Amino acid sequence: MKKLSIQFTSVLLVGLVSSQLVGCATTTNKGAVGIDRSQFMMLSSKQVESLSSASYSQTLKTASDKKTLNTDPAVLARVRAISDRLIAQVPVYRADAASWKWEVNVEKNDQVNAYCMPGGKIMVFTGLIDKLNLTDDELAAVIGHEIAHALREHGRERMSLAYAQQGGLALIAAVIGSKKNAATSLDLAGKGTQLFFSLPNSRTQETEADRMGLELVAHAGYNPNAAISLWTKMGQNGSKKPAEFFSSHPADKTRIDDLSKLIPTVMPLYEQAKAGK
């Protein structure tokens, strides 16, 4: 009887998830840099964005409680101004992203890191700016790279692949779990954070974010050459102690070479944006 119950539960869980499967698709337009890879998506955008939103809200609360959230108005204004210019260009890759509920915040944290969670939830750590002494163009390159991850829904893709590879029980619990009380909501937020950060980007995803981010930067009127100096600085920083930003895929000559080859493709977009100001 116990074995039958387990089998029934498994079938039920599979049925619940199967009813929400999305399949394979490309999430963005090609753009000038030509991103056109078909992606494996078993979880819907709505599911993943809901999980990410809860996780981001919990992150903001934790930082606020620690008094590390948006502590410097000038830095916050700078990060938001740069982000706003980049966000204005997201319809180049997908029109629906313009209506995402974008949020941009800064956490006082020594880590050299930044991220954009599914649905447009951006966080920049002060360590990234301070330790690398970033120019506006270089900071735009970082944020553009992270926005590109969100536009391509790499987080959703990673979660979908993890579900397929591991049977998905933990992901099912996280995605379709009950939200009946505050404790459960906090638990879901924790799962969202764990899933987002514990499933590293693949080299393919990193390359896509590099290329798309470069184009976003150019469209926004930031010098795409700054991506080269940015990743050079990142690599030098990582040689002393691996930066959190490079925990899975450190910057190397291949990455910089790839970006260098694309500079002539996006430079006209940059020049056009500058001329239009």
Instruction: Give the ranges where 152-181 is alpha helix by DSSP (H).
Output: 154-166, 169-176
Rg of the chain over Cα atoms, rounded to whole angstroms, equals 19
Locate 263 and state its tokens: 């500079």
Q: Give the DSSP per-residue string, 63-121.
A: HHHTT-BS--HHHHHHHHHHHHHHHTTGGGT-GGGGGS--EEEEE--SS--EEEETTTE
- Measure the CA–CA gap between 93 and 148, rounded to whole angstroms: 9
Beta strands in 65-137 (DSSP E): 103-107, 114-117, 121-125
- Measure the CA–CA gap between 36 and 131, rounded to whole angstroms: 35
Among 49, 103, 107, 146, which one carries the catalytic annotation? 146
- Measure the CA–CA gap between 156 and 26, rounded to whole angstroms: 12
Distance of CA 96 to the CA centre of its chain: 16
Task: Find tokens 């078993």 and name the residue.
Answer: 42
Count other C-beta atoms under 10 Å from residue 187's C-beta: 17
Name the CA dihedral angle for 146, 152, 158, 160, rounded to a multiple of 10 degrees. Answer: 150
Locate 248 and state its tokens: 């899975």
Distant-in-sequence, close-in-space partners of 239: CB < 8 Å, separation ≥ 6: none
Tell which residue, 72, 241, 77, 43, has the closest CA to residue 153. 43
For the question of residue 146 being annotated catalytic, the response is yes
Which residues participate in catalysis according to the annotation?
Answer: 146
